[in-house]
Amino acid sequence: MTQIFSNASTESGQAYANLLANLPGMVYRCQNQQGFPMEFVSEGCFELTGYTSKELTGNNRIAYGDLIYPEDQRMVWDSIQKAVQQHQPFVLEYRIFKKNGQLRWVWEKGRAAFTDSHKGVLDGIIIDITSRKEAEEANRQAHEELLESNARFRMLTELAPVGIIISDAQQRILHLNQRFTDLFGYTVADMPSAEEWWPLAYPDPVMRQKVREDWTALIEAARLNHGEIFSYEAQVSCKNGSIRQIDFRATSNGELIFVISTDITERCRLENQLRMAHKMESVGRLAGGIAHDFNNMLGVIIGYSEMAIDRVKEDTELLEDLNEILAAGKRSREITRQLLAFARKQSIKPVAVDLNELVDSMLNMLRRLLGENINLTWLPQNGLWPVKLDPAQLDQILANICINSRDAISGSGSIIIETSNAIFDSEYCFAHQGFVPGEFAMIAISDNGCGMSKEALKHIYEPFFTTKGMAAGTGMGLPTVYGIVKQNNGFINIYSELNRGTSVKIYLPRLVNETTPQPKPQKAAVKGNNELLLLVEDEPTLMKMTKMLLERLGYQVMAAGTPGKALEIARSEKGSIQLLITDIVMPEMDGVALSEQIKKIHPEIRTLFMSGYTSGMVTSNDIVKTGCHFIQKPFSIEEMAKLVDKILNKPADQTD
């Protein structure tokens, strides 16, 4: 290169000079000194630095070293000196200032050479790489932004409360977020593509085929309608064996498919509960209305039967017939009470009880009820938690369920009654529909009878629904149990398989820190002393029977079939009417308004309300205030006698 630079005027030298002029950047020779004084630069120096070769050589205008960016000068000097000492070429990238002040990136490659005078010089080439550096910087920034965007996307997907699936157009899984794995239990390793997903989520081949066809159509629609979101609901089998109801939302940009899966199992459960509650409320109102009207007729039957029995005690055959009528009336009264229990309008007297003791006391009755061909096994758990319950309601629960079990058994069989304590947390209840968190005492009645189908199980709490046929069942057994359990803040779980049997488990809340109250001795009823009573009842036969009943108890009775007639009697009666006995629901005026009107005429009069509805229902609906005297139809002579005597002999300042 020394000869090239010194003999540039020769033909050969001119050829090399032309070659150097056509090279990109600047070819140079400089002294290996601070400032790197240039001895030769090619014509490319002007484009590179903005200075002519004349201005750069010999430091005529500026030393090349002064063009180097100050922060890079030390690095350039040290790197070159190290390469010279090791007799190696050097390659550098650094920044320089052009004459116009622009900062440019350059790439330099060179090595040390020695002249004949042994003076160290550097030969090399310097090229402007600013465009490459800017592109690299742009790529670096884009890469960092992509990484940041990916990190934000991953963070958002991992924090999302829904399962997220991203797949390519061939439905190969590219990403599953953590919520998806938490929800279903599956990972990308379990399902690298949709092909592996289908048998996992839908073990049943028939259901799998149907859902797969629906899903394929949905994905195709998403592809054809970029950006539009399509939805699909389906049940999915999870890795742990549970079944969840999932709402899938899918969209596509043509290359990728995005699927969001939301667990709506709990929402569906609550919706089903709400529908069931509305349904039960409707049939409950129907049941309550039926019981009210039926109670009026039963009151007539029971009342006349009791009065007739008192008159014919010596006629044994007739007495037996009357007792059968009375027993049928009382059994019918129990049916209306079952209706009211289902409607959750039956008045109850819950006390702290030990279920083991109550069941134990009922075993003999239950064995007679079941018959000799059915073996009844009793398995109580020691240390069973107490519950708060009306003991009579447990009688109804056990009798109804055991009768159902008996009727489900053809020939000989077995029924098992057992108790235990149970604790359920929120997580368990979330996974098991119908369960409630808390501590419970459980009583289970299981049989090996014919069982029930899944379709029948959907209707078991509906009144009058029966699988026994019209002649064999009333359809009130389980609805009655349902009403009682709900009334006591418990819940029921029923499991049944056709030809295998049924198990009914009833969970009642554990009672803490309450003892069983001791029963109070009851006073014997006494007859009246010719006190004057006003009876108001719009059902003629019941009014006639009640009037006869009260007169037999030793009272004078004036009877009215309407509130208007009762007011006429009250206005015309100059003596003291001591007690008003009135139905609550009547035409013209209800019993409460009638009582208020009559009190204006006879201020000292006392009132006894009666109704086919329960006291709990009439007080909850503000028909009468809590604390008023009330008797529920149908009533017996003894019940009416005791209550009328109690009211009439109560101090005046304690009356209603």
Tell me how far apart the alpha carbons of residues 490 and 436 are, in angstroms, rounded to a whole number: 8
593, 571 contact by CB (below 8 A)? no
Domain 351-509 CATH assignment equals 3.30.497.10: no
**Per-residue model confidence as pLDDT tens digits over 436-447:** 889 999 999 998
pLDDT digits (tens, 9 = 90+) for 110-138: 999 876 654 689 999 999 999 999 998 88
Dihedral of CA atoms 324, 480, 619, 528 in degrees, nearest 10, equals 20
Long-range contact list for 517-526, CB < 8 A, 24+ apart?
A: 517/351, 517/352, 522/642, 523/642, 525/638, 525/641, 525/642, 525/645, 526/641, 526/645
The CATH T-level fold of domain 2-128 is Beta-Lactamase (3.30.450)
Handedness of CA 609, 611, 616, 621 (dihedral sign): negative
Preceding omega of 651 cis (within 30 degrees of 0): no
CATH match of 532-654 with 3.40.50.2300: yes
> What's the confidence (pLDDT) of residue 342?
53
Give 213's Cβ-side CA count (13 Å radius).
Answer: 5
Percent of the chain with pLDDT over 90: 27
First to last CA, the chain: 130
Nearest CA to 506 out of 401, 361, 386 is that of 401
Tokens of 331: 């059994």
Give the closest residue to 339 by CA, choosing from 310, 298, 374: 298
Q: Please tell me which residue, 465 or 435, carries the higher pLDDT value.
A: 435
Query: Tell me: the pLDDT tens digits for 580-638?
Result: 999 988 888 888 999 999 999 999 999 999 887 655 545 544 555 655 788 888 788 88
**What residue ranges of the chain are covered by domains with CATH 3.30.565.10?**
351-509
Q: pLDDT tens-digit profile of 518-570?
A: 444 444 446 788 899 999 998 888 889 899 889 988 999 999 999 999 999 99
**Residue 243: per-residue pLDDT:** 87
Q: Average pLDDT over the chain, rounded to whole?
A: 81
% of the chain exceeding 70 in pLDDT:
81
Look up residue 435 and give its amino acid. F
| 359 close to 497: Cβ distance less than 8 angstroms | no
CA 414 vs. chain centroid, Å, equals: 37
- What digits encode the pLDDT tens for the residues 472-525? 444 456 777 888 888 889 998 888 888 888 888 999 999 987 654 544 444 444
Rounded distance, CA 213 to CA 218, Å? 9
The DSSP call for residue 66 is G
Question: Which residues are CB-contacts of 486 (< 8 A; sequence separation ≥ 6)?
Answer: 344
Which of the four pLDDT bands, split at 50, 70 and 90, describes residue 343? Answer: low
CA–CA gap between residue 354 and residue 383 (Å, rounded): 10
Question: Could you tell me the CA-to-CA distances from 336 to 51, 151, 342 in Å, in that order?
Answer: 114, 68, 10
pLDDT tens for residues 281-293? 666 666 666 666 7
Per-residue pLDDT at 522: 45
Closest CA to 447 of 405, 498, 506: 405
**Start-end ranges of CATH 3.30.450.20 in the chain?**
2-128, 160-263
Strand partners, 428: none
The pair of three-digit structure tokens given for residue 198, joined into one six-digit string: 């289908």
pLDDT tens digits, one per residue of 200-236: 888 888 888 988 888 888 888 877 877 678 888 888 8
List the structure tokens of 385.
């938690």
Superfamily designation of domain 160-263:
PAS domain (3.30.450.20)
CA angle 488, 509, 462 (to 5 degrees): 45
- Both structure tokens of 179: 């919520």
> Which residue, chain included where needed, has tokens 């063009």?
67
Instruction: Report yes or no: 508 and 428 within 8 Å, Cβ to Cβ.
Output: no
Q: Is the pLDDT of residue 60 over 90?
A: no
Give me the count of residues in the chain. Answer: 656
| 265-324 per-position pLDDT tens digit | 888 888 877 776 676 666 666 666 666 677 777 777 887 887 777 777 666 778 777 777
pLDDT (mean) for 411-440: 85
User: Please, what is the angle between helix 477-487 and helix 265-311, to 10°?
Assistant: 110
H runs (alpha helix) in 225-315: 265-311
Residue 98: its pLDDT value, please? 94
pLDDT, residue 152, reads: 76
What residue ranges of the chain are covered by domains with CATH 3.40.50.2300?
532-654
The answer to whether residue 180 scores a pLDDT higher than 90 is no
pLDDT of 404 above 90: no
